Structure 1
Amino acid sequence: MFPRCRPYHTYSERLLQDVPHLKNNRNLTERIVDKIILQLNRVYPQVLSNKEAEKFRNLKTPVRARLADLLKHLQRKGERECQEFYRALRNNADTVYSTLPSRRHRNSSDPLEISPDLEKMILNDRGPVFFLACFSVAAGLALIMYYNHPEVKSPDSAKKVLGFSAVGFGRQIRNILISFLEETSNL
């Protein structure tokens, strides 16, 4: 069986466990670390002052050393700063965030995290074809409801609807709709 870890009650405790992983993670590039620092500098209320942000963005210092100093600094500052760090990490390096040791062996719920069941409901794996099919059904129902309205029973109004709907489509579909309208007007 897997070893059971005690649940983390604070972000400071989580950060304490995640520091070795974060220091050795090669996915945390200089660009990503700079983005995290900038987000911590710009969030309200400010987690890092402008002077602190400049210190941690110093290009003369290696990225790993800057990251280690940043993590120590955040642990000294407090709980809210550690929480904002996790939020910045998730926004800028989700792959790193998802591989953190504190996330792998967790029993408590994280306010930043969505449960896997809820995530499947929000982001289904059906893809763009499913979306287009649903959109087409909705658009078709809207056209049927519009066409069945008593004031819109004339054939000219149906041509207007198809003519205006052709504007939003690509060139090939637009040509097909316009040729259909021309053929029906000749009949």
Structure 2
Amino acid sequence: MDSRLLDRLILELNQSSPQILTYAEAHKLQNLDVPTCLRMAELQTNLLGKGEEACHQLYRLLHLHAEAVYFSLPTRTPHPGNTEQAHKSPPERFVLNNRGPWFFVSCFGLAVGGALLYYYSDGALWDGARAVLAYTALGFSKPATSLLLLYAENMGKNH
């Protein structure tokens, strides 16, 4: 960061309407004998002690006077774990599965085949399905078993 930019930030933080930096703090931070990186670090620790509003004021001033510095801050660059930036980035294409269109076509064909078989078959097919359903119920919990057996009995009465 440039020394003149830091001096401008300190001056504006001193002259802001709710005064963030006192005159003594601003005078101490504008000491040109101290390197700019140390002055900036001291400014940041000073603002951290003053609260969140003071830090937001620094961010606002950086955004006004040095956009390149503002957008290169670690809180403004996207990180994998940063959820705030994930909402601001363009939405990604959602992929439900990676099996491709033929998997969808085969599953759809299986569903259509099952529906056609159900509507256009005679009742003899469902007698075997009832037996399979009754055997399948053996592996489930007691409420699920009773529900499947009840369904199998009702299925037998309907056909």
TM-score, scaled relative to structure 2: 0.49
Q: Which has the higher contact order (CA 8 A, sep 6+)?
A: 1
* Structure of higher CA gyration radius: 2
TM-score, scaled relative to structure 1: 0.42
